[in-house]
């Protein structure tokens, strides 16, 4: 269940009298380092969602992937990784560099890598003189397997929560970028995940990566046919797009590159759509779009129609119950669509970039039902899209009526207060279009539902119910009569003393009584 804070913020946001379309909520000042939650992959036990939400609010929510080649670790006999001291690190590095037998050199690096799983080893390593230099030397050697192991060591370091460790990896970044234009897909994948981790951890690293050409490097690499590379690239790019300076420093150059076209290409529905890849790039798109840098560009590249078709595709997957993990893709896609619909370019009626296909509404409801079963916390996001589809569109409002979707919508009311407010808002979108619409809303199950929501302890839910009532009374006068017969007045009376509601309650009482 969403927290009450979320309810208040959202309700106030929707209902505020000074709401303007391009409303910018002030970003909360980043709180000082509270050591907020950062996960560490499989070793973290499942944490309460409350703690994660707190971390997200404090902008401390940092995700990193950790690729561990568990298969090869098992082959080593499954030894537990130990913390390494200075001497041991030096020993392994020397062996790796100067050992006579290649297998021996490789094994030395494997031992180092496993030691580097420990933060203590990482600290010792970065403070040891010449260690990074040696590692970079091995990374750039032509001994392929040594190179791979050195890259894995670097990857372990990239997962550190200490920005000092990430910054110690700076000497390697130009090489990581160079290797992105190579051919070895496993190696490239590793470099990408490492870069993604480093990006998140330190602004100093980002300040170096940008002039080193990370954006063009990614734009070249995104043409790879390898799905594993693409998924890794999407991850790295999503981390890059998510950082706080992204709107000013990163997104403009991303938009100026060929990346947007490729991202949209990789989101095209069809037999070649790979879910893991699509999830990453959908999130990339979300970070770009919600930063409001130049969404018109994305629309002109056909972003809206690609996302619309993807929505249909996802609904189809739900129908075929091939929906494992689909919510991970649905979430960013819904966000992208909802935000894109607010662009001025969308105001051009009948333009080529319009989203007018009513199958989108059908698909959205299929997804809403899916969310209800699998991930109710995403219902608000789905309903947000429904609001944006119906707000200015008589056609979509008509679709809701003609496809008999009002009743299913009403069935969502009990889920939560946020969901109730959104459902009522969508109903208001329909009702405000006039008598032809209200006649299809009343009579029907709406009455008893409204009596129910009017009894809610939540002021915003009641408030939105009052708005809907006003519209119904205005355009469908019989509604007032029915309302009285169902003891609606008594329900209204309960709120007569409530400051935020009393004016509207009073007005409705007057209207009802004068019918």
Range 260-289, binding other proteins (CB under 8 A): 274-276, 279, 283, 287
Distance in Å, CB of 124 to other proteins, minimum: 19
Is residue 15 near other proteins by the rule CB under 8 A?
yes
- CA dist 209 → 58, 134, 194, 219, 386 (Å): 26, 21, 13, 14, 40
Tokens of 506: 């009073």
List the interface residues with other proteins, window 156-175 (CB under 8 A).
171, 174-175
List 4, 12, 127, 325, residue binding other proteins (CB under 8 A): 325
Distance in Å, CB of 299 to other proteins, minimum: 14
DSSP class per residue in 376-408? GGGHHHHHHHHHHHHTT-HHHHHHHHHTT-HHH
List 19, 127, 455, 490, residue binding other proteins (CB under 8 A): 19
List the interface residues with other proteins, window 370-389 (CB under 8 A).
372, 375, 377-378, 380-381, 384, 387-388
List the interface residues with other proteins, window 458-487 (CB under 8 A).
464, 466-468, 470-471, 474-475
List the interface residues with other proteins, window 112-141 (CB under 8 A).
133-134, 137-138, 140-141
Distance in Å, CB of 376 to other proteins, minimum: 9
List the interface residues with other proteins, window 39-68 (CB under 8 A).
39-42, 44, 46-47, 49, 52-53, 56-57, 59, 61, 63-65, 67-68
Stretch of 23-31, 121-129, 477-485, 488-496 lying at the interface with other proteins (CB under 8 A): 23-31
Is residue 315 near other proteins by the rule CB under 8 A?
yes
With contacts defined by CB under 8 A, how many residues of the chain interact with other proteins? 169
Q: Are 358 and 403 in contact (CB under 8 A)?
A: yes
Distance in Å, CB of 123 to other proteins, minimum: 22
Distance in Å, CB of 119 to other proteins, minimum: 17
What's the rounded Cα separation, in Å, for the pair 460 and 464?
6
Burial class (CB in 10 A: 0-12, 13-18, 19+), 200: buried
Residue the block writes with tokens 């029915």: 482
What's the rounded Cα separation, in Å, for the pair 366 and 369?
5
Is residue 442 near other proteins by the rule CB under 8 A?
no
What's the rounded Cα separation, in Å, for the pair 406 and 441?
8
Is residue 25 near other proteins by the rule CB under 8 A?
yes
Q: Which is nearer to other proteins, 181 or 487 (CB)?
A: 181
- CA dist 101 → 114, 136, 140, 141, 346 (Å): 20, 20, 19, 15, 65
In the shown chain, the binding pattern of residues 390 to 429 toward other proteins, with x for contact by CB under 8 A and - for none, equals xxxxxxxxxx-xxxxx-xx--xx---------------xx
Burial class (CB in 10 A: 0-12, 13-18, 19+), 71: exposed
Closest listed residue to residue 196, CA positions, set 65, 42, 328: 65
The phi-psi region of residue 227 (left if phi > 0; otherwise alpha if psi is between -120 and 50; otherwise beta) is alpha
List 304, 331, 419, 454, residue binding other proteins (CB under 8 A): 331
Q: Which is nearer to other proteins, 99 or 119 (CB)?
A: 99
Q: Which residues contact 199 (CB under 8 A, 6 or more apart)?
A: 205, 206, 209, 236, 239, 240, 243
Q: Are 280 and 235 in contact (CB under 8 A)?
A: yes
Q: Which is nearer to other proteins, 115 or 463 (CB)?
A: 463
Closest listed residue to residue 111, CA positions, set 137, 157, 80, 138: 80
Distance in Å, CB of 130 to other proteins, minimum: 9
Q: Which is nearer to other proteins, 82 or 144 (CB)?
A: 144
Is residue 90 near other proteins by the rule CB under 8 A?
no
List the interface residues with other proteins, window 218-247 (CB under 8 A).
219-220, 226-228, 231, 235, 247
């Amino acid at each position: 269940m969403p927290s009450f804070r979320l309810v208040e913020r959202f309700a106030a946001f929707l209902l505020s009298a000074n709401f303007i379309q391009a409303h910018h909520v002030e970003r909360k000042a980043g709180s000082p380092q509270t050591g907020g939650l950062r996960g560490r992959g499989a070793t973290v036990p499942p944490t309460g969602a409350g703690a994660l939400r707190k971390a997200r609010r404090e902008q401390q929510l940092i995700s990193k992937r950790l690729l561990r080649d568990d298969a090869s670790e098992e082959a080593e006999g499954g030894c537990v990784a130990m913390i390494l001291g200075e001497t041991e690190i030096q020993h392994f590095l020397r062996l790796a560099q100067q050992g006579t037998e290649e297998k021996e050199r490789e094994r030395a690096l494997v031992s180092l890598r496993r030691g580097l799983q420990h933060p203590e080893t990482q600290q010792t390593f970065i403070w040891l003189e010449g260690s990074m230099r040696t590692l970079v030397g091995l990374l750039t050697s032509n001994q392929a397997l040594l190179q791979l192991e050195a890259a894995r060591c670097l990857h372990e370091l990239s997962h550190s929560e200490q920005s000092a460790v990430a910054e110690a990896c700076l000497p390697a970044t130009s090489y990581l970028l160079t290797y992105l234009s190579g051919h070895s897909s496993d190696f490239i994948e590793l470099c990408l995940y490492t870069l993604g981790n480093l990006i998140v951890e330190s602004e100093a690293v980002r300040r170096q990566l940008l002039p080193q050409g990370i954006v063009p490097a990614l734009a070249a690499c995104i043409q790879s046919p390898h799905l594993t590379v693409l998924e890794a690239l999407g991850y790295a790019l999503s981390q890059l797009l998510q950082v706080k300076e992204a709107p000013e420093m990163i997104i403009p150059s991303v938009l100026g590159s060929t990346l947007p076209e490729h991202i949209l290409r990789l989101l095209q529905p069809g037999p070649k759509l790979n879910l893991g890849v699509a999830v990453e790039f959908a999130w990339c798109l979300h970070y770009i779009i919600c930063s409001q840098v130049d969404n018109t560009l994305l629309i002109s590249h056909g972003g809206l129609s690609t996302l619309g078709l993807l929505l249909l595709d996802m609904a189809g997957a739900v129908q075929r119950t091939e929906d494992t993990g689909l919510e991970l893709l649905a979430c960013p896609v819904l966000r992208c669509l909802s935000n894109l619909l607010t662009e001025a370019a969308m105001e051009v009626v009948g333009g080529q970039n319009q989203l007018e296909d009513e199958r989108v509404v059908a698909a959205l409801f299929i997804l809403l039902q899916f969310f209800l079963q699998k991930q109710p916390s995403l219902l608000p996001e789905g309903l947000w899209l429904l609001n944006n589809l119906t707000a200015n569109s008589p056609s979509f409002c008509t679709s809701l009526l003609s496809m008999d979707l009002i009743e299913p919508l009403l069935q969502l009311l009990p889920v939560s207060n946020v969901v109730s407010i959104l459902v009522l808002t969508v109903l208001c979108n329909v009702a405000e279009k006039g008598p032809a619409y209200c006649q299809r809303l009343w009579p029907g199950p709406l009455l008893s539902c409204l009596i129910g929501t009017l009894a809610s302890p939540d002021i915003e839910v009641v408030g939105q119910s009052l708005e809907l009532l006003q519209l119904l009374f205005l355009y469908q006068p019989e509604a007032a009569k029915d309302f009285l017969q169902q003891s609606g007045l008594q329900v209204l009376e309960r709120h007569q003393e409530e400051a935020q509601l009393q004016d509207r309650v009073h007005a409705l009482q007057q209207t009802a009584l004068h019918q």
